[in-house]
A = this chain, B = another copy of it.
């Protein structure tokens, strides 16, 4: 458990369902330390024989995830730190991908950048009607390179282009549902919790061997992500040092 100021990850198991919850006071954004703990916890849950199904969620009624830590981003001044920063989400996405258990993600509110990657890497994602999404990376002078393969796999090239290039605008949960990011959208938090609980229970009592095979076929041909996401983190790590982005960050820091 990390310091509450830097956020926290909690993990519990009940009725064969492993629940991983992340929390950060700044809109459930995810600094590097939290991302590492999140990836490790997913891996842990994947190895726990008692756990038949994993639910990933975040704390509170506000944003599901505001993406990476902006404070950390502003502090990057060399390629090694830049790559390391962007590898944070790569590790989480790879942990979700290689986990032998099916993973449900519960999205209760607004989701930005890397948070969309977590939603997209779910095997099944349920969201609240108010869960708008924005892939704002390009507006910061970088781009959604690390989450790209996850978003593209679920939403396809056309919808990924919409999100990635129209980086200043929010897209509704209805749009995200129609494009496949969200498998189900619910009107209230109660309905969302009920739907998550119902599906989690149904799956936790399903044939574990069948679910393991399902996980396997759903992620077929993504073995290259291990290398691809690292290359993507390197692209972002270089871009964050570009004149354009450094000026943007300097301007931002003055405010």
Contact = CB atoms under 8 A, between A and B. Distances in A.
Interface stretch (A28-36, A59-67, A106-114, A148-156): A148-156
Given A154-B157, A158-B155, A141 B210 contact: yes
Contacts of A207: 138, 141-142, 239, 242, 244-245, 248
A75 interface: no
Max chain B Cβ within 10 angstroms of own Cβ: one of A162, A203, A206, A244: A206
- Give this chain's copy count: 3
A208 interface: yes
Interface string A97-138: 000001000000000000000000001100000000000011
A199 interface: yes
Given A142-B207, A217-B145, A217-B148, A180 B166 contact: no
Max chain B Cβ within 10 angstroms of own Cβ: one of A141, A155, A158, A209: A158
Contacts of A248: 207
Given A124-B165, A138-B211, A213-B145, A156 B180 contact: yes
Q: Report the interface size class on chain A.
A: 35 or more
Contacts of A155: 158
Contacts of A137: 210
Contacts of A232: 217
Interface in A196-247: 199, 202-203, 206-211, 213-214, 217-218, 232, 235, 239, 242, 244-245
A2 interface: no
A139 B211 CA distance: 11
17 contacts: A123-B161, A123-B165, A138-B203, A139-B206, A142-B210, A143-B214, A154-B156, A158-B179, A160-B218, A161-B183, A166-B184, A166-B199, A168-B202, A207-B244, A209-B244, A210-B242, A217-B232
